[in-house]
Every structure is written in C-alpha cells, then in structure tokens.
C-alpha cells in the first residue's frame, strides 16, 4: 500500500489531498504514475509530466526510482 499526497496543482487536478494505492512492494515511480494516471486521467497527466516526487527523503523525477510507503507529488510552485 502506498500513500500518495498531492500538493498545489496536483491536489486541484486529482480532487483530493491524499489517497492510497495498492501497489506491490518494490515498485518504481513509473508504476505509481501509471496507477495515478489510470485513476485520475488526463486532468492529472499534464501535472505528472512536470512534477517532482518526494520519495522518502529523496526528491526525484527518475521513473525507475523505487517507491516506499509514501510519495508526495510536487508540481512547480509559483509565488513569493
């Protein structure tokens, strides 16, 4: 089970702040992104393409990165 937390535009596009996915242990970020996309469709696809992902303590965009039990989706932020 993986908890996904959405921030900023990712939360807007998904319609939620967090949810869980039944993803096998040892899966990679590409597998998670495919599951998120399948659940939320095109509205979130554009956000996923430009987002960074916080996996544990590592910020990554590498689709082959192994995921743990929580991943934060961090789209580009604007502001000051």
**Domain residue spans in the chain?**
2-74
* 1-40 pLDDT tens trace: 999 999 999 999 999 999 999 999 889 999 999 999 999 9
Q: Over the chain, what is the mean pLDDT?
A: 93
What is the reported pLDDT for 26?
A: 87
Q: How far apart are CA 52 and CA 10, in angstroms?
A: 11
CATH pick for 2-74 out of 3.30.420.40, 3.10.20.30, 3.90.76.10, 3.40.50.720? 3.10.20.30
80 has pLDDT over 50: no
**Are the beta carbons of 5 and 14 closer than 8 angstroms?**
no
**Are the beta carbons of 29 and 51 closer than 8 angstroms?**
no
């Amino acid at each position: 089970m993986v908890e996904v937390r959405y921030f900023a535009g990712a939360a807007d596009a998904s319609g939620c702040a967090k949810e869980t996915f039944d993803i096998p242990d040892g899966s990679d970020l590409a597998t998670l992104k495919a599951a998120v996309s399948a659940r939320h469709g095109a509205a979130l696809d554009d956000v996923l393409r430009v987002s960074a992902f916080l996996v544990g303590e590592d910020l990554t965009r590498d689709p082959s990165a192994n995921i743990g039990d929580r991943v934060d989706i961090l789209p580009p932020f604007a502001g000051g």
